[in-house]
Amino acid sequence: MLPTVMSGLGTGTTTNVHTSPLTRQSKQHNSLVKTVTDKLLLKDLDHLTECVHTTTLEVYHSMYLKYLPKRTHFGYDVMVHASMLAALDHNNNVNKEQTQLTMMCLGLQSCKLVIWTPSEDIELEIPFDKHNTDAQVQQLQNFFFVHMVPRLADDFADKKIHLCPTYLQMFNA
C-alpha cells in the first residue's frame, strides 16, 4: 500500500488522505513499471545526473546561513535585513558564469552590474576573470563533445531526429 499523504500543511489542519493500494499487474502498476524502465528515459536520466544539480539552491542556503546562523536568535527586523543582505549577496554572484562567458565572447575586460531599488541605484564594476572562464569553457566543451554530440549522433542514426535539408546540404557539399 502507498503511504498516507498529509495534506493541509501550513493551514493549521492536517487531513489523512488514504490512497488505494497499487497491486501487481494492475493497469496502474504496469504503466508505472513501463515508465520507470523505459530505456530512453533511463538514458536521458543518465545524462541528466551529470549536469542537473541543486547546487544553486544549496549555495543560496549556505549564503543565508552566513548572515543568519541557525543557533542564534534574531529579532524580526534583523531577520528581514539580514535576509535582504543574503539575497543581495547571492544575486550579485548568481549569473557570474553567464556574465563572464558573455564578456569572453565580446572581448570585454569588464562590465557593469546595476542594482536598482526604489531608493537608490548601485553600479558595480565586474572584471573579466580569465582563469575561471577558461575552466568553465573546458567543462562546457567536455559536456558537449562527450555527452551531447554522441547522443545527437545516436538519435540521428536511429531516426529519432531529423535535420533540415539546408543543414544536410552543408555536409554533403
Q: Report whether pLDDT(50) > 70.
A: no
The length of the chain in residues reads 173
Q: How many alpha carbons lie under 13 Å from residue 56 in its C-beta half-sphere?
A: 10
Mean pLDDT of 98-119: 85
State the pLDDT at residue 79. Answer: 87
The reported pLDDT for the residue numbered 163 is: 81
Same domain, yes or no, for 58 and 14? no
Tens of pLDDT, residues 120-154: 888 888 889 899 899 989 999 999 999 999 998 89
Q: Tell me which DSSP letter residue 80 carries.
A: H
132, part of any domain: no
Do residues 22 and 47 share a domain?
A: no
Confidence at residue 145, expressed as pLDDT on a 0 to 100 scale: 92
pLDDT of residue 1 exceeding 70, the answer is no
- Mean pLDDT calculated for residue range 104-109: 92
Look at residues 54, 80, 58, 57 and name the one whose alpha carbon lies nearest to residue 67.
Answer: 80
* Residue 159 confidence (pLDDT) above 80: yes
Decide if 21 is inside a domain: yes
What's the confidence (pLDDT) of residue 20?
A: 64
Q: Read off the pLDDT of residues 14-39 as tens digits, 9 standing for 90 and up.
A: 445 455 667 788 888 888 888 888 88
In sequence order, the β-bridge partners of residue 111 are: 126
Q: What is the mean pLDDT of the chain?
A: 78
Overall domain count for the chain = 2
**Contacts with 88 (C-beta within 8 Å, 6 or more apart), sequence order:** 115
pLDDT score at 130: 92
126 falls within a domain: no
Residues 20 and 42 in one domain: no
Range of the domain at 51: 38-94
Question: How does residue 52 score in pLDDT terms, banded at 50, 70 and 90?
Answer: low
